[in-house]
């Protein structure tokens, strides 16, 4: 019998000219290349970063010999979602191991861990850049439990700062990419997952050789779960 989906939750932020971008990334631009008036149909031209909006990072994002987005196994992008509620954090506050340990029994290989900071509520404000971030120790703990897909409802799983960017600025990116994992950033609406055992899909566009790609992230409640 076909699987019945009882509820769908959109975990993606809107992609438009006003979508917040990581400092220095290309600004998203959209225009009509063809129009119904002139050509009989509408076709849009899009110019944006591979990390615009809700997106996945491939290991190649930080490793020259890392897997490209089209080389990552598809089962890394679909699996049992685990929401790790770490709301009520201050700006630029790290997500420490002690905040995640109560969820340890839910985590393991194949799980998609999603850090719920609540920061997606700041999407349209400058404070979106002041998000909490995952600590190095907590990141290592997730990887040690076999988790290879880790997301956050903020711009960056690491801290976003105004200081010059160097290798040390992205410790969690380096850890996850070195483990062959993937990162999901700019998630939204995690508070709407009010059911157990959500099936989460964060399937990226198949950009050949890509370091990352936009996704339409969704959580699904399936009948019988």
Task: Yes or no: say if 202 and 13 are a contact pair by the CB < 8 Å rule.
Answer: no
For the CA atoms of 18, 124, 159, 132, the dihedral, rounded to the nearest 10 degrees, stands at -160
Residue 1: predicted pLDDT: 44
Residue 41: count of CB within 10 angstroms of its CB? 8
For 87, the 3-state DSSP assignment is: coil
Enumerate residues 6+ apart whose C-beta is below 8 A from 9: 189, 192, 193, 198, 218, 219, 220
Q: Where are the beta strands (DSSP E) in 23-122?
A: 29-34, 43-47, 55-57, 78-85, 94-95, 111-116
Closest CA to 51 of 209, 217, 186, 172: 186
Per-residue pLDDT for the chain (225 aa), expressed as one digit of tens each?
A: 457 999 999 999 999 999 999 999 999 999 999 999 999 999 999 999 999 999 999 999 999 999 999 999 999 999 999 999 999 999 999 999 999 999 999 999 999 999 999 999 999 999 999 999 999 999 999 999 999 999 999 999 999 987 656 667 899 999 999 999 999 999 999 999 999 999 999 999 999 999 999 999 999 999 976
What pLDDT was estimated at residue 169? 83
Q: Could you tell me the pTM of the whole model?
A: 0.94
DSSP annotation of 12 reads: B
The pLDDT value recorded for residue 161 is 83
Domains, in order of start, for the chain: 5-21+49-222 (3.50.30.50)
The single residue listed with the structure tokens 């956050």 is: 152
CA–CA gap between residue 184 and residue 180 (Å, rounded): 14
Give the residue ranges of DSSP H helices in the chain: 36-39, 97-100, 136-144, 171-178
Nearest to 110 by CA among 181, 206, 186: 181
Look-up: residue for tokens 């080389």?
71
| 191 exposure class (CB count in 10 Å sphere: 0-12, 13-18, 19+) | middle
Cα→Cα distances 82→107, 108, 121, 140, 150, Å: 7, 10, 20, 17, 10
Token pair 């993606």: residue: 12
Q: Which residues contact 210 (CB under 8 A, 6 or more apart)?
A: 50, 58, 60, 68, 69, 70, 204
Beta bridge partners of 56: 184, 213
């Amino acid at each position: 019998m076909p699987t019945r989906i009882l509820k769908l939750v959109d975990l993606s932020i809107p992609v438009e000219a006003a979508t917040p971008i990581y400092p220095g990334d290309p600004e998203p631009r959209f225009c009509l290349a063809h129009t119904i008036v002139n050509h009989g149909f509408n076709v849009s031209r899009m110019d944006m970063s591979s990390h615009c909006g809700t997106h996945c990072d491939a290991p190649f994002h930080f490793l020259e010999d890392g897997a490209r987005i089209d080389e990552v196994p598809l089962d890394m992008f679909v699996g049992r979602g685990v929401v790790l509620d770490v709301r009520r954090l201050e700006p630029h506050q790290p997500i420490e191991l002690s905040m995640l340990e109560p969820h340890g029994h839910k985590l393991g290989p194949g799980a998609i861990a999603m850090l719920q900071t609540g920061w997606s509520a700041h999407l349209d404000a400058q404070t979106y850049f002041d998000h909490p971030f995952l600590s190095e120790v907590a990141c290592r703990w997730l990887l040690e439990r076999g988790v290879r897909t880790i997301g956050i409802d903020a711009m960056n799983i690491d801290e976003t700062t105004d200081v010059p960017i160097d290798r040390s600025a992205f410790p969690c990116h380096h850890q996850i990419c070195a483990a062959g994992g993937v990162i999901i950033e700019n998630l939204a609406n995690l508070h709407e997952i009010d059911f157990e055992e959500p099936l989460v899909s964060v399937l990226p566009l198949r950009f050949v050789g890509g370091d990352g790609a936009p996704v339409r992230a969704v959580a699904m409640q399936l009948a019988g779960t």
